[in-house]
């Protein structure tokens, strides 16, 4: 009997294929000596036929978006803690913990690499990330049902999610303590109409800047100065 060749692929279920392909992307992104990211390279690493990958996802952009969304759902679940602040804080803390891992940094790279060049590809990619937006909407619906006033989805994206990934893209680690709480408190205080003066520990003001900032704030409180008199 002829022994099996090492390149022979074992038949996998659709979910096994999906898991293997997603893991192959992470492995390639984490491997300093890895090949350029392409569907043939991913398929070879996953031990599946590249035509199966094309049939299922259609493009590399859509595949990367599906992988990123799936891993975020797994690693940063949007749990029900009983309060809006608790839900947002748990999510923010999980996101920071994830970004600090090699796999989390690989996810950030995958998001950047999945940026499409055409309107059709953008629409396909958006369908995958829409799953994550639906999860965010669940947090808002739970808060509303409890009688809380959640911020709009765009505000959550801009003030809570974007800072994590902007730092990750530029290689700036979040502060080791208190950063998730800082962002959540800023988000909720701005939504309630309060002026949040919580300082980012990564941003240092000089004494001169602090003096001008306080003078500026006082002038606005007095109605913008006396220019109009």
DSSP 101-167: SHHHHHHHHHHHHT--SSHHHHHHHHHHHHHHHHHHHHHHHHHHHTT--PPPHHHHIIIIIHHHHHH
Q: Coil, helix or strand for 179?
A: helix
Q: Could you read off the pLDDT tens digit of each residue along the chain, which spans 229 residues?
A: 444 444 445 677 889 999 999 999 999 998 877 667 899 999 999 999 999 999 999 888 889 888 988 888 887 777 899 999 999 999 889 888 888 888 888 888 887 877 777 777 677 667 767 777 887 898 999 999 999 999 999 899 899 988 988 888 888 888 878 999 999 999 999 766 544 444 444 444 444 544 544 454 454 445 554 444 4
């Amino acid at each position: 009997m002829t022994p099996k060749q090492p390149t022979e692929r074992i038949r996998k279920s659709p979910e096994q294929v999906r898991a293997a392909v997603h893991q192959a992307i992470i492995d390639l992104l984490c491997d300093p000596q890895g090949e350029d990211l392409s569907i043939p390279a991913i398929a070879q690493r996953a031990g599946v036929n590249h035509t199966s990958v094309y049939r299922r996802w259609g493009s590399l952009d859509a595949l990367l978006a599906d992988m990123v969304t799936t891993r975020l759902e797994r690693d940063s679940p949007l749990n029900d803690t009983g309060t809006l602040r608790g839900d947002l804080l748990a999510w923010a803390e999980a996101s920071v913990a994830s970004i600090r891992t090699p796999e989390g940094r690989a996810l950030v790279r995958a998001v950047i690499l999945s940026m499409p060049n055409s309107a059709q590809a953008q629409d396909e990619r958006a369908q995958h990330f829409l799953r994550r937006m639906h999860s965010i909407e669940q947090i808002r619906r739970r808060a509303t049902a409890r009688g809380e006033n959640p911020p709009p989805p765009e505000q959550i994206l801009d003030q809570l999610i974007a800072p994590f990934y902007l730092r990750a893209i530029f290689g700036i680690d979040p502060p080791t303590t208190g950063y998730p709480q800082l962002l959540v408190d800023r988000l909720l205080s701005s939504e309630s109409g309060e002026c949040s003066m919580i300082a980012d520990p990564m941003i240092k003001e000089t004494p001169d800047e602090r003096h001008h900032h306080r003078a500026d704030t006082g002038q606005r409180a007095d109605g913008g100065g006396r220019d109009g008199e």
